[in-house]
Structure 1
Amino acid sequence: MTIELTYLAYTIALFFVVVLVQATTGIANNGGLAMANARDNLKPPTTIQARAKRLTDNFRENLWFFAPLVLIAAIADVHTQWTVLGAQVFFWARLAHAVWYIAGLPFIRPLFWLAGVIACGMIFLSLFGMLA
């Protein structure tokens, strides 16, 4: 397995943790029984629950860029220093973004998001030989 695919697997594992954090905040706010049902009459979300939901949504949106790029690179046998760096930067940027988002720390979080976007750009450009 390539380094890029390994980092894709790490990223999926991190996404699973993010989803578990979101689920845990929902259970903490509403109880397990309410969350196991249709969820029609839930309490308003707590700050941390709303933040965890936004984090999950943001992670999912960014994963739609990263995962296909890594898979295309693997299928096309494109494996460069830039695809490796892109995969590594994406994973670590998403990890930092998740920590900052849940903690509610201001200003720095968008920089981690931007690092992930740039990482996807590096992989994309490598696919077309624009970064060698």
Structure 2
Amino acid sequence: MEPTFLAASPFLPIIGLSVLLLIGHIMLQGVTATKELGTDWNAGPRDGNRKPEGKLAGRAERASTNFRETYLAFIALAFGLILAGDPHTLGLIGAWLWLVCRLIYIPLYLAGIPYIRSFVWVGSMVGLGLMFVVLMF
């Protein structure tokens, strides 16, 4: 029998959306690299040192790397809050803040917009911080 707190957790849709965001990052990175290097490169074994050198493909790769640096922390905190039962809505607010900021971050990074992009990144860290505080206290 499945525990009711797992089935009813409002964190599960956010986790599902975060997986879609991860897939979006992977697809964006692949599409921009393929556009620059061609389908033969993408379909091949990618042996050697040939990598995309264009701005857009580079930014897509760096945005994806940046996302993955925080993704494991998000998943760990979200499941921790599910198991703890998250008695506060502050953890849920933090999860949504992280997700929305990570979504907004992509076009800002691709467009090369400084400062605002960094502010949005800080917002995602605040979201993780809220989740952490709820989990710890």
What TM-score does the superposition give when structure 1 sets the normalisation length? 0.90
Distance in 2, matches of 1:15 and 1:100, equals 17
Of residues 7, 14, 33, the one that matches 1:7 is: 14
Match of 2:3 in 1: none
Number of residue pairs aligned between Structure 1 and Structure 2: 129
Contact (CA 8 Å) 2:97, 2:127: kept in 1 or not? yes
Gap runs ≥5 in structure 2:
1-7
1:20 to 8, 21, 27: 27
Instruction: Provide the C-alpha distance between the structure 2 equivalents of 1:72 and 1:93, rounded to a whole number of angstroms.
Output: 21
Counterparts in 2 of 1:30 and 1:119: CA distance versus 1, 3 Å: same
Are the aligned partners of 2:105 and 2:120 in contact in 1 as well (CA < 8 Å)? yes
Q: Which residue of 2 aligns with 1:56?
A: 64
The alignment partner of 1:38 has SS state of: coil
Q: TM-score, normalising length from structure 2?
A: 0.87
Q: Indicate the residue corresponding to 1:36 in structure 2.
A: 43
CA distance in 1, matches of 2:15, 2:112: 26
After superposition, what is the alpha-carbon deviation per residue over 1:53-101, rounded to whole angstroms, capped at 9, x for unaligned? 1001000001021111001111222242101100110111001111101
Alpha-carbon RMSD: 1.4
Aligned 8 A contact 2:36 2:54 in 1: yes
Q: Which residue of 1 aligns with 2:77?
A: 69
Q: How far is the alpha carbon of 1:44 from its aligned partner? A: 4.5
Within 2, Cα distance between the matches of 1:32 and 1:42? 13
Which residue of 107, 117, 121 corresponds with 2:115?
A: 107
| Distance in 2 (alpha carbons) for counterparts of 1:52 and 1:27 | 12
Q: Report how far residue 128 of structure 1 moved.
A: 2.0
Q: State percent identity of aligned pairs.
A: 26
Q: Which residue of 2 aligns with 1:98?
A: 106
Q: Which runs of 5+ in 1 are unaligned?
A: none
For residues 46 and 79 of structure 1, the distance between their equivalents in structure 2, rounded to whole angstroms, comes to 47
